[in-house]
C-alpha cells in the first residue's frame, strides 16, 4: 500500500500545481470564465486538485476546433489512422500503472480491478484501429437499370459524455471507434473523476493525433454537458450514464436533431435454477455485484434463486459476503473500496432503511464504515419481493437483493418486471430451458453459466430504459458513420 501511495504522490504532483485544464485545439486552456471546482478523493475526502469549470463558451471553442480538424482527419488514409490508434494503445500500456493508481484515488475503485481496466482501454484502441481500414466499405446492389453502391462516411464532430464509474475504460470505449471511423471528438468527462481522461488525451496527442481531433472540456453536466448536447456543430452524442440523464439529453438535443447513443442504467438479474453448478453460480453472483464496488452498469444487482435451493444458497452467500475485504483501494488485497462521492454514498445508505421499512431482511452489511471516506459494508437483502424499491431501483453500490422464485415462469416474470433491460445471467444445466428462458428475457446482453465476459466483436447495449443503440464490432460504426447510397444509370 505505501509503495502505491508513494507512486501516486508522484503522479498527482503536477495536477496539484496546474489543476486539470481543458485541452482545445492542442492547447491547454483554463475555462474561459476562469472558474474551477475542487476535486476530492472518496478515499479520505482530501483535496486532489482544481478542475476547469467550463460552460457553453468553452464547449463552443472545442466544437469549433473539432469542426476545423474534421476534414483532414476524415480524409487521412485509414491505414494512417490505424497506426496512430495503435500508438495510443501502446501509450496506454506504457502508462497503465499511472492510470490505474490515479483512477483508484479519483473514484475509490479497487486496484485489483482497475489495473485490468486500463489495459482493456488499450485493447479497445487496438480493436477499432484494426477495423478502421474497412469501416467505409459498402455494398454493391445492382438493379436492371442502375449500378447501386453504398458507402459509409463519418458523421462529423461527436460529443462524448462519460460517467465516473470506470471512467478511463468507458472513455476509450466511445472515443476509439469514433476516431477509427474518421470523426473528431469533444469529450466531457464526469466531474467526479476528471484525472484519467486528461492522461488519456495526453497519450493520444503524444501518439501523433493531430491537434483539434480530440478536445477535452471539463465541467458539470448542467452547463458544459448540456451545451455540448445543444451545439449545432456536434452531429451526435455518445452518452454513458443514468437513464434520467439520457432522457434530458434527448430533449436538449431535439432542436439540433442530434443522433444519440445511450448506455444507461440497469437492475440486472442473475437467475439460479436448482440444477445449476451452484459453486460456480455463487462465485459469479458475488463477482458480478461486489467487484468494482457494485458501481457497474452490468452488475447483477438482483439474485433470483429457485426456492428449492434458496436456503442453502443464501446461507453460503451470506458467509461469503461477510468475508469480503473492504479497504483502501490502493491496497492490492482490497475487494471493495469507497463509493465515488458523498451524495452517492448517502443514496446507497438510504436503501438500508428503505429495505427494512419495506419488510426485507438485511442478511449482511447494511452499514457504513465509521471512518473518513465513503465506505459501506457489502450488503445482502433477503426476503425481498419484486415490488420493493430495493428490487426496482438502481442502487449502484455493493448491494444485492435476493428474491426467491418457484417456477421458470415466475423467474421470467420477476426478471422482466423492472424498467431496465441491460444484462441477464442465467444458471442452469438444462440447455433447452436456457434457450427458452433467454428467448423471453428482456435484456440486451445475456450470459448463460458465465459471468459477464466481454468479447469486443459482439454487440453491447441495453433494451427498455437501459439504452439505445449498440457498441462493439461494426455496430459502433453504424452510429459514428452515415450510410450513403449512389445509383449510376447503366
Binding site for ligand NAD (CB under 6 A): 161-165, 170, 188, 190-191, 220-222, 225-226, 229, 240-242, 245, 248-249, 252, 263-266, 297, 394, 396, 422, 462, 466-467
CB 180 within 8 A of CB 154: no
- Match 478511463 to its residue by C-alpha cell: 168
CB of 472 to ligand NAD, least distance (A): 11
What nine digits make up the cell of 277?
Answer: 453448478
CB 8 within 8 A of CB 101: yes
Indicate the residue among 248 and 309 with the shorter CB distance to ligand NAD. 248
Other CB atoms within a 10 A radius of the CB of residue 176 amount to: 26
For the chain, report the end-to-end CA distance as a whole number of angstroms. Answer: 72
d(C-alpha 460, C-alpha 476), whole Å: 9
Rounded to 5 degrees, φ, ψ at 253 are -90, 0
Closest distance to ligand NAD from the beta carbon of 226 (Å) = 4
257 and 232 Cβ atoms separated by less than 8 Å? no
Nearest residue (CB) to ligand NAD, 241 versus 473: 241
For the bound state, the minimum distance from the C-beta of residue 187 to ligand NAD, rounded and expressed in Å, comes to: 10
Q: What angle do CA 389, 394, 399 make, to 5 degrees?
A: 85
∠ CA 417-421-422, rounded to 5°: 145
Distance between CA atoms of residues 404 and 407, nearest Å? 10
Residues 6+ positions from 455 with CB-CB distance below 8 Å? none
Specify whether the CB–CB gap between 92 and 122 falls below 8 A: yes
Query: Is the CB of 30 or the CB of 163 nearer to ligand NAD?
Result: 163
Nearest CB to ligand NAD, comparing residues 269 and 462:
462
Annotated catalytic residue: which of 230, 263, 295, 394? 263
Q: How far is the CB of 328 from ligand NAD (least distance, A)?
A: 23
263 tagged catalytic: yes
Rounded to a whole number of angstroms, the minimum distance from the CB of residue 99 to ligand NAD is 18
Least separation, in Å, of the C-beta of 116 and ligand NAD? 16
What whole-number distance in Å separates Cα of residue 478 and Cα of residue 314? 43
Calculate helix-pair angle for 111-131, 167-181, nearest 10 degrees: 0
Pick the closer one to ligand NAD by CB: 172 or 382: 172
Question: Which single residue brings its beta carbon nearest to ligand NAD?
Answer: 221
DSSP, res 294 = G
223/331 with CB nearer ligand NAD: 223
Catalytic residues: 263
Amino acid at each position: 500500500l505505501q509503495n502505491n501511495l508513494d507512486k501516486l504522490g508522484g503522479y498527482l504532483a503536477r495536477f496539484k500545481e496546474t489543476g486539470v485544464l481543458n485541452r482545445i485545439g492542442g492547447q491547454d486552456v483554463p475555462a474561459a470564465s476562469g472558474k474551477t471546482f475542487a476535486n476530492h478523493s472518496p478515499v479520505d475526502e482530501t483535496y486532489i486538485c482544481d478542475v476547469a469549470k467550463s460552460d457553453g463558451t468553452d464547449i463552443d471553442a472545442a466544437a469549433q476546433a473539432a469542426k476545423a480538424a474534421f476534414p483532414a482527419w476524415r480524409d487521412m488514409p485509414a491505414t494512417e489512422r490505424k497506426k496512430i490508434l495503435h500508438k495510443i494503445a501502446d501509450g496506454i500500456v506504457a502508462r497503465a500503472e499511472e492510470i490505474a493508481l490515479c483512477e483508484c484515488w479519483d473514484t475509490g475503485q479497487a486496484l485489483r480491478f482497475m489495473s485490468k481496466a486500463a489495459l482493456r482501454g488499450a485493447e479497445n484502441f487496438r480493436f477499432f484501429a484494426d477495423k478502421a481500414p474497412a469501416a467505409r466499405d459498402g455494398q454493391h446492389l445492382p438493379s436492371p437499370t442502375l449500378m447501386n453502391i453504398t458507402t459509409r462516411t463519418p458523421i462529423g464532430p461527436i460529443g462524448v459524455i462519460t460517467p465516473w464509474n470506470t471512467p478511463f475504460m468507458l472513455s476509450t470505449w466511445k472515443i476509439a471507434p469514433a476516431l477509427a471511423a474518421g470523426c473528431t471528438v469533444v469529450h466531457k468527462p464526469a466531474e467526479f473523476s476528471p484525472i484519467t481522461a486528461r492522461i488519456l488525451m495526453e497519450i493520444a496527442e503524444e501518439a501523433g493525433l493531430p491537434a483539434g481531433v480530440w478536445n477535452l472540456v471539463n465541467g458539470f453536466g448542467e452547463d458544459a454537458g448540456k451545451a455540448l448536447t445543444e451545439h449545432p456543430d456536434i452531429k451526435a452524442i455518445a452518452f454513458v450514464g443514468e437513464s434520467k440523464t439520457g432522457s434530458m439529453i434527448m430533449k436538449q438535443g431535439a432542436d439540433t436533431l442530434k443522433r444519440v447513443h445511450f448506455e444507461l442504467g440497469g437492475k440486472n438479474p442473475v437467475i439460479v435454477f436448482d440444477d445449476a453448478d451452484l459453486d460456480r453460480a455463487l462465485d459469479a453472483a458475488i463477482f458480478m455485484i461486489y467487484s468494482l464496488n457494485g458501481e457497474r452498469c452490468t452488475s447483477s444487482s438482483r439474485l433470483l434463486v429457485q426456492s428449492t435451493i434458496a436456503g442453502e444458497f443464501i446461507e453460503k452467500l451470506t458467509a461469503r459476503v461477510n468475508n469480503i475485504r473492504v479497504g483502501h483501494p490502493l491496497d492490492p488485497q482490497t475487494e471493495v473500496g469507497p463509493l465515488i462521492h458523498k451524495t452517492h454514498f448517502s443514496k446507497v445508505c438510504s436503501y438500508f432503511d428503505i429495505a427494512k421499512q419495506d419488510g426485507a431482511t438485511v442478511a449482511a452489511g447494511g452499514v457504513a464504515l465509521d471512518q473518513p471516506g465513503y465506505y459501506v459494508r457489502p450488503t445482502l437483502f433477503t426476503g425481498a419481493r419484486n415490488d420493493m424499491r430495493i428490487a426496482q431501483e438502481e442502487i449502484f453500490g455493493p448491494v444485492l437483493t435476493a428474491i426467491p422464485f418457484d417456477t421458470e415462469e415466475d423467474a421470467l416474470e420477476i426478471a422482466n418486471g423492472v424498467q431496465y433491460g441491460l444484462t441477464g445471467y442465467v444458471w442452469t444445466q438444462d440447455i433447452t430451458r436456457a434457450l427458452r428462458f433467454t428467448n423471453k428475457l428482456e435484456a440486451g446482453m445475456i450470459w448463460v453459466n458465465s459471468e459477464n465476459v466481454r468479447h469486443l466483436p459482439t454487440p453491447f447495449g441495453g433494451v427498455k430504459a437501459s439504452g439505445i443503440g449498440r457498441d462493439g464490432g461494426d455496430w459502433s460504426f453504424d452510429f459514428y458513420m452515415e450510410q450513403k447510397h449512389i445509383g449510376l444509370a447503366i
